[in-house]
């Protein structure tokens, strides 16, 4: 597929799909605008080419209903402030009023269409909905990496009807970092996989174990592996149906010469509560009535040593329930270890992204992905539907 700087958009009308699914507080103020800032290089490039820029995006999951609290009004205000120019927000994303606004656009103008997901046809990948969106512009640009694992009208169906298709600069950065790292990493290559469930990361584990030199497993998912090794894990999160799979994963790692690191101690409590009494115990001494909620200091030291010679580190998933202070030390210690390493470091989106920014270490990470689900699918070795659609359009044109 081609990128926006590889095609002629001079003076044209450009329809850009971005991922502006940003968090809002109770007063509908944006609390984290990184996804909006990530779109600025593509928008500014289009403006420099005298293009008329139409922006489409979604916010939340309104499931086909118009919900005022999920309007893109806060996005329009923040985007206007970041660009230093007016961003007009349409009342809808389809219809005659939208067409009239587009017809009145001058070069260098920006029009943001209202939440795509106010129409159920978006998630259903409706041809009619996609056709109407495609008809607005001369060129369609997909720069919504965070939505690239979805098969929706605005990122997959639209490629069947658009006159020209390409990807934006954010999509290029995301794909380049992940593909280069997975195909030809500097070694030793270490993967850090955390989060609550093995089932959420099973395919990523299976794909990565064939590529890495070392693998560190933490978070709630570690207890399924610890149980597979015969440890008492108390009331910790365990996926019983995957214990045998975890046992097999340990065996495969050994056969392939991959060094597998699991917690050797953990922070336990009777429940995941900020006021709960906590204890630090070796994994062999977890109380049957308590649960593991973070890795302990010995595990932190072990994982730090495992990362000491790494040349490439890829991390997806926290080491514990870091939203609660009592169970945050493992995740934040890992953030600092990764940030202070001399490796190329790539952090998946979602909770890991949040942890890195809370720890104030984002400037010291090589690349932080903007898409949790999309980055996870790349780690699983899958092809993203939106990327596949762009590639197929390009093949069709050839």
Residues with catalytic function: 35, 197, 350, 373
Residue 48 to residue 5: CA distance in whole angstroms: 11
Burial class of residue 86 in the structure, from the number of CB atoms within 10 Å of its CB (0-12 exposed, 13-18 middle, 19+ buried): exposed
Cα atoms in the 13 Å half-sphere on the side-chain side of 310? 29
Q: Rg (Cα) of the chain, in Å, rounded?
A: 23
Q: Nearest-CA neighbor of 204 among 314, 355, 311? A: 314
| Alpha-carbon dihedral 324, 194, 142, 100, rounded to 10 degrees | -30
Residue 259 to residue 213: CA distance in whole angstroms: 6
Show the tokens assigned to 113. Answer: 């269409």
Strands lying side by side in the sheet with 278-282: 278-282, 265-269, 291-295
């Amino acid at each position: 597929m081609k990128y926006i700087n590889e095609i002629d958009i001079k003076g044209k009308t450009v329809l850009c799909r971005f991922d502006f699914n940003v968090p809002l507080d109770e007063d509908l103020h944006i609390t984290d605008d990184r996804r909006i800032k990530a779109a600025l290089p593509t928008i500014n490039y289009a403006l420099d080419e005298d293009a008329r820029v139409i922006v489409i995006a979604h916010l939340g999951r309104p499931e086909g209903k118009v919900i005022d609290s999920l309007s893109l009004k806060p996005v329009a205000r923040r985007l206007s402030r970041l660009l230093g120019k007016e961003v007009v927000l349409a009342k809808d994303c389809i219809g005659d009023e939208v067409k009239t606004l587009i017809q009145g656009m001058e070069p260098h103008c920006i029009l943001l269409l209202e939440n795509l997901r106010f129409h159920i046809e978006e998630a259903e990948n409706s041809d009619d909905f996609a056709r109407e969106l495609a008809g607005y512009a001369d060129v369609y640009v997909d720069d919504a990496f965070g939505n690239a694992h979805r098969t929706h009208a605005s990122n997959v169906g639209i490629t069947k009807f658009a006159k020209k298709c390409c990807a934006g600069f954010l999509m290029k950065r995301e794909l380049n970092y992940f593909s280069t790292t997975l195909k030809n990493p500097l070694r030793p290559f270490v993967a850090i996989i955390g989060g609550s469930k093995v089932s959420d990361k099973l395919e990523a584990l299976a794909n990565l174990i064939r590529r890495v030199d070392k693998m560190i497993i933490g978070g709630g998912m570690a207890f399924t592996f610890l149980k597979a090794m015969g440890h008492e894990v108390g009331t910790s999160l365990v996926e019983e149906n995957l214990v045998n799979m975890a046992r097999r994963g340990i065996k495969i790692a050994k056969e392939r010469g991959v060094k597998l690191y699991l917690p050797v101690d953990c922070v336990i409590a009777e429940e995941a509560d900020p006021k709960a009494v906590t204890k630090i115990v070796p994994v062999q001494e977890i109380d049957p009535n308590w649960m593991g909620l973070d890795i302990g200091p010995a595990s932190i030291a072990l994982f730090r040593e495992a990362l000491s010679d790494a040349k490439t580190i890829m991390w997806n998933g926290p080491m514990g329930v870091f939203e609660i202070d009592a169970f945050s030390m493992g995740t934040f210690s890992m953030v600092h270890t990764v940030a202070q390493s001399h490796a190329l470091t790539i952090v998946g989106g979602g909770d890991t992204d949040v942890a890195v920014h809370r720890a104030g270490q984002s400037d010291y990470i090589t690349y932080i992905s903007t898409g949790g689900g999309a980055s996870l699918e790349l780690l699983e070795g899958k092809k993203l539907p939106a990327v596949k659609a762009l590639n197929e359009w390009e093949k069709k044109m050839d």
